[in-house]
Amino acid sequence: MQKFGFLLCILLMLAACREDEDVVQPTVSDVGKEETVTDYRGMYVLCEGNMGSNKATLDYLDLHTGQYWKNIFPSRNPQQVMELGDVGNDVQVYGSRLWLVVNCSNKVEVCTADSAHSLGHVDVPNCRYLAFDGGYAYVSSYVGEVGRNSVLGSVYKIDTLSLKVVDRCTVGYQPDGLCVLDGKLYVCNSGGYQPLMSPPQDYDCTVSQIDLATFREERKITVAPNLFRIQADSHGQLWVTSRGVDDDEQPIPSRLYLLAKNASGQIQVKDSVDRIVSDFDIVGDTLYFCGSSINGSKMLRHYGAVDTRTAQVITDSLLREDGTWKVQTPYGIKVHPLTRDIYLMDATNYVSSGYLLCFSRDGRFKWKTSTGDIPGHACFLKTPLAP
């Protein structure tokens, strides 16, 4: 028995050594320190990974040291055999916690914000995007299986301390982006699966307004088909993107919409901006956007800015195209709240490593570094990343 016990210990030690060797370690590259040091210490970048490949990854940019850490989640959570999961869809910091929506893995991973160590996860089917208010997380969900069953979607209400689902509200078809404004939750209903079963014109075209006190849908606001992103500005207005409808007979172009309160205090469509917007970020009174479109066999790339006070385009040349940098597929954009440095995420061909590019506030190219596959979501962190 003593020999058997000794042999068992040796086998366990060897197994542990093999597990340590199998853990994927992050790769680190130097991109350069911030020119202006601020309270923001870093930025998380969530890379979606190609659907079905289980390759969602979490990267980290240390703004104070100028180092970019590629794929940090496995080494910080070696106990998770499947690592982060399949299709990373949203990332946000709320309080001391980092929230990661992993779409096709049907979960919201919750980690410590300062170390990315997992604290657990919440099961949410076909989950999409996050919003927070008053100690609760709100997660949009298609509810039905990925790519199938066009059923009404929902928003799940999660207690951020217990990580328990405490309520659920039914909204429109395939809800995507959502945000909180004046005690209401606004949700973009994309209807993204509907053209699989019906003509393309049958996309959902509404924004659901949910009262947070009762957590029930109060009304739907008709905007445009195939809605996607939504964000509130500092003037109590909402900005919403429509991806439009790609149909040979009745195409509907992508557009940016402004929603504001009317004379009776209800949110409605006030204006629109004729620009193709894949992603945007609002800092101060400026909405920064990126997008892409196809003209024949040629891909067009769009980088611009809109004044949120007037809904007027400030520039369609946000980034200086001077031949020192190149982007294949602009997929996400994030702007530093203080320095106004612009971070552009390039999904390249959607199957290979992507890139993160940094530009100064005046559009001057600063650096470029490799990321995981399909980088598309980012959030800033004030706490320094722990070892």
**The CATH number of the domain where 62 resides is what?**
2.130.10.10
1 domain-assigned: no
- For residue 14, the model assigns a pLDDT of 41
Sign of the torsion formed by the C-alpha atoms of 119, 43, 85 and 180:
positive
Q: Do 56 and 47 contact (CB within 8 A), yes or no?
A: yes
C-alpha to C-alpha distance for 180 and 174, rounded to whole angstroms: 19
C-alpha to C-alpha distance for 343 and 334, rounded to whole angstroms: 5
> What does the angle CA 238 – CA 128 – CA 60 come to, to the nearest 5 degrees?
90
The SS3 assignment for 13 reads helix
283 domain-assigned: yes
C-alpha to C-alpha distance for 142 and 164, rounded to whole angstroms: 19
Tokens describing residue 352 = 């290979």
152 domain-assigned: yes
Which residue from 119, 62, 56, 116 is spatially nearest to 89, judged by alpha carbons? Answer: 56
3 domain-assigned: no
- For residue 4, the model assigns a pLDDT of 43
16 domain-assigned: no
Tokens describing residue 114 = 């300062």
C-alpha to C-alpha distance for 303 and 280, rounded to whole angstroms: 10
Amino acid identity for residue 145 in this structure? E
Q: What is the dihedral of CA 112, 118, 122, 125, to 10 degrees?
A: 110
Which residue from 181, 329, 199 is spatially nearest to 251, judged by alpha carbons? Answer: 199
185 domain-assigned: yes
The SS3 assignment for 58 reads strand
- Residue 31: count other Cβ atoms within 10 Å of its Cβ: 17
What are the average pLDDT values for consecutive 10-residue runs of the chain, which has 387 residues?
45 44 87 89 97 95 96 94 91 97 97 97 97 98 78 96 98 96 97 61 86 98 95 98 80 92 95 96 98 86 97 97 94 97 97 96 97 98 86
DSSP strands (E only) in 52-124: 57-62, 67-70, 88-94, 97-102, 107-112, 118-123
14 domain-assigned: no
Q: Do 26 and 70 contact (CB within 8 A), yes or no?
A: yes
- Residue 38: count other Cβ atoms within 10 Å of its Cβ: 14
60 domain-assigned: yes
Tokens describing residue 77 = 């959570």
Range of the domain at 146: 25-381
Number of domains in the chain: 1
- Residue 365: count other Cβ atoms within 10 Å of its Cβ: 17
